[in-house]
Structure 1
Amino acid sequence: MSRTLHLAEQLISRPSVTPEDADCQAMLIARLAPLGFRCETIVSGPENFRVTNLWAKRQGNFKGSRPPSQADTEQVAPELIANGNAPAAKTLVFAGHTDVVPTGPLDQWHSHPFTPSHRDGKMYGRGTADMKTSIAAMVVAVEEFLAANPDPALSIAFLITSDEEGPAVDGTVVVCEQLKARGEVLDYCIVGEPTSVDKLGDMIKNGRRGTMSGKLTIKGVQGHIAYPHLAKNPIHLFAPALAELVATEWDKGNAFFPATSWQVSNIHGGTGASNVIPGELVVDFNFRFCTESTPESLQHRLQAVLSRHQLEYDLKWTLGGLPFLTTPGTLVDAVRGAIQAETGLQTELSTTGGTSDGRFIAKICPQVIEFGPINATIHKINEHVLVSSLDPLKNIYKGVLERLAAA
């Protein structure tokens, strides 16, 4: 059996529904520690929602060009530091999550979601595509790379969380805050999210849009529906503003991002009775925004529309994440080159889709991309991946390591 497939099956067999890790990270530590990785478990969150995070790093041989940070030099011989001969090797981070979404109705699965099953060249199970096969491929890629390059001019790290599919407040963001506080310098990051569409490697994400939600409460006056002059219908009051907001062009996007979009996700008004004008209307909405807009500019423009229509309202904002972008350069070139060498494909750069933990890592790492298996069945009943794609995925990750070590 392929070593990548074997590790993937071991991980998929663990019922790590968010925020549970179910000892997946212990399994990874058992593989990484013998390779020279310093492994640190960071537990966060309240007692009823404990999140397990792993930060594991193996220091490179310091043939880089930038000065070392304090965190870089923790593993360096003191005499090298004293002599000023410890320039820092650049660091590549493999990032991912061991938690998975709930299975949904078990009777709709053709096999148990936490028992990896093979049918027609596909492996079925929760987390096969999102994203335990990526983690397995990353680990085996590192094992093979270090076997051939025991002293590379590249530091390698893993940032793994069990809180990506959940609220994402005690996972990667917590680790990134700690790394920043202690001066850890990151140069490149590959997030193993499933980004491929039709064939492995046909698309990578070199950025993501920002996300910002709002809960808007339009105030009216409740009353009898037969006496509208004695009431104030918030649904009627909001309707013209809603039409204007729907028609608004927030920006035109740019070469890397589509235009910012505004969508209503929920709208509720009324008591349930057919003869009562409601006293308020509650609207949930979301911006998915590009780098042409800021949270502040979008908030200002939306509130200007509400004020122009003389609405009385309350509005609460939640900023889920800022947009990030990695323009073509060292990391993108390395990933593109490794994909082409393995598959022959010219990969497409894209910033479409939802958010990922890349939004947190991008705050402390200048080059972040996402790349992983085909995403057609993620979060679905009978989630699966092509078994034939696992070793090519591992080979691509290994090819990136080789290219960055030689850069």
Structure 2
Amino acid sequence: MDLLELTSELIRRRSITPDDAGCQALLAALLGQSGFRTEHMRFGDVDNLWARRGDAGPVVVFAGHTDVVPPGPREQWHSDPFEATVAEGTLYARGAADMKGSLAAMVRACQRFAAAYPEHPGSIGVLLTSDEEGPAEDGTVKVMEALKRRDELFDYCIVGEPSSGERLGDTVRVGRRGSLSGLLAIKGDLGHVAYPPRSENAIHALARFVQAMTAEPIDEGNARFPPTTFQMVNVTSDAGAPNVIPAELNCRFNLRYNTQWDRHTLAARVESTLDALGLDYELSWRLAGEPFLTTKGRLTEAVVRAVREETGIAAELSTGGGTSDGRFIAPYGIEVVEIGPVNSTIHKVNEEVLVADILALERIYFRIAELLLLE
């Protein structure tokens, strides 16, 4: 099974989060053939795979996820989203870029590395989950906790998320912003719309809060991160009649924040704004992950060099984009980067990846392993 065939076989397995649909069993079998010790680690409804070849350090790990988002309206796809369709050098399917092409590339790179250097120094590993696109509660975060308990953490991690913007390798993620969501309930007074002074309108109260949060930037960002952002994502309020002021409003907002904050200081900033407005409210918080940053060092140098040698591109080191499972790995003091395909169609109908990029990505991953373990 060559690299394209492996990508196609992974796509054929309808692993809509959190269902792994047998992807990890397939990859574990391939890694086992190359001398990797494989361990299936299931937490709740989530399948995870930990594979390692070697017992010494340093330990280089490739990480990713086998789960994908739903394909959306089938009629809008020009081919079966769970059959890899190749046309004019482009592969179309759900998970093509996010991230089954990367998974196939990293596993084949690990196999090739093991074959080329059977007595290699250090260790090379693979960490996979089926819970990255979902709640992310029983996936990588639980595996890392288990590895920590048995003193089996690693040194370097390459996450196969689709990091590239226009061309493969033009962007390497070396960090991510934190993500903190607030679930806010604002209390008002039920009343007639013709007599607004007699009632406190919860919707108007929300408008004042949004205005206060967006009137000025929360911060100016820093050398490696953009400014913190505030976005409303859901609002519900209805008194059941067109002439009644609602007594309550429930909403959700999200903050993507840089390293000038942590969850506690940022929450305090928001709560002080609500208090200053004199609102009657209840607020709970949901943390998706704190910000992290991998500074320039051996890992970033190896990745940039591998990308340059394979593509001729000088990769930009970026902290943009959303969250990834890197947020569960970096807190253990592990250097983390993300390098993967172009991300312009991820989660969209007719998701695509260039076949040439999958092939090149396998060579980039192989070269990164060489640079980290052999030089």
Distance across 2 between alignment mates of 1:37 and 1:355: 29
Paired residue secondary structure (1:175): helix
TM-score between both structures, scaled by the size of structure 2: 0.97
Encode CA deviations 1:57-114: one digit per residue, 9 max, x unaligned: 1115xxxxxxxxxxxxxxxxxxxxxxxxxxx420011100111111111121111111
Aligned pair partner of 1:124 in 92, 98, 115: 92
Distance across 2 between alignment mates of 1:288 and 1:163: 21
Query: Could you say which residue in structure 2 is the equivalent of 1:72?
Result: none
Within a 5 Å distance, the mapping from 1:6-405 to structure 2 comes to 6-45=5-44, 50-60=45-55, 88-405=56-373
Please say if residues 34 and 115 of structure 2, whose CA atoms lie closer than 8 Å, have aligned partners that are also in contact: no
Query: Could you say which residue in structure 2 is the equivalent of 1:65?
Result: none
Please say if residues 251 and 293 of structure 1, whose CA atoms lie closer than 8 Å, have aligned partners that are also in contact: no
- Whichever residue aligns with residue 30 of structure 2, its letter is R
Distance across 1 between alignment mates of 2:95 and 2:200: 50
The percentage of counterpart residues that share the same residue type is 51
Please say if residues 117 and 125 of structure 1, whose CA atoms lie closer than 8 Å, have aligned partners that are also in contact: yes
Distance across 2 between alignment mates of 1:173 and 1:341: 33
Query: Could you say which residue in structure 2 is the equivalent of 1:67?
Result: none
Distance across 2 between alignment mates of 1:126 and 1:321: 26
Distance across 2 between alignment mates of 1:390 and 1:309: 53
Q: Structure 1 runs of 4+ off > 6 angstroms?
A: none
Q: What is the number of residues matched between the two proteins?
A: 375
Higher mean displacement: 274-283 or 340-349: 274-283
Higher mean displacement: 368-377 or 265-274: 265-274
Larger radius of gyration: 1
Please say if residues 5 and 387 of structure 1, whose CA atoms lie closer than 8 Å, have aligned partners that are also in contact: yes
TM-score between both structures, scaled by the size of structure 1: 0.90
Structure 2 residue runs without a partner (length 5+)? none
- Whichever residue aligns with residue 327 of structure 2, its letter is R
Structure 1 residue runs without a partner (length 5+)? 61-87
Distance across 2 between alignment mates of 1:237 and 1:197: 40
Distance across 2 between alignment mates of 1:389 and 1:228: 61
Distance across 2 between alignment mates of 1:196 and 1:238: 38
Shift of 1:125: 1.0
Distance across 1 between alignment mates of 2:107 and 2:288: 30
Distance across 2 between alignment mates of 1:119 and 1:127: 16
Encode CA deviations 1:300-343: one digit per residue, 9 max, x unaligned: 11111111111111011111100110011000000000000001
Paired residue secondary structure (1:362): helix
Distance across 1 between alignment mates of 2:251 and 2:20: 35
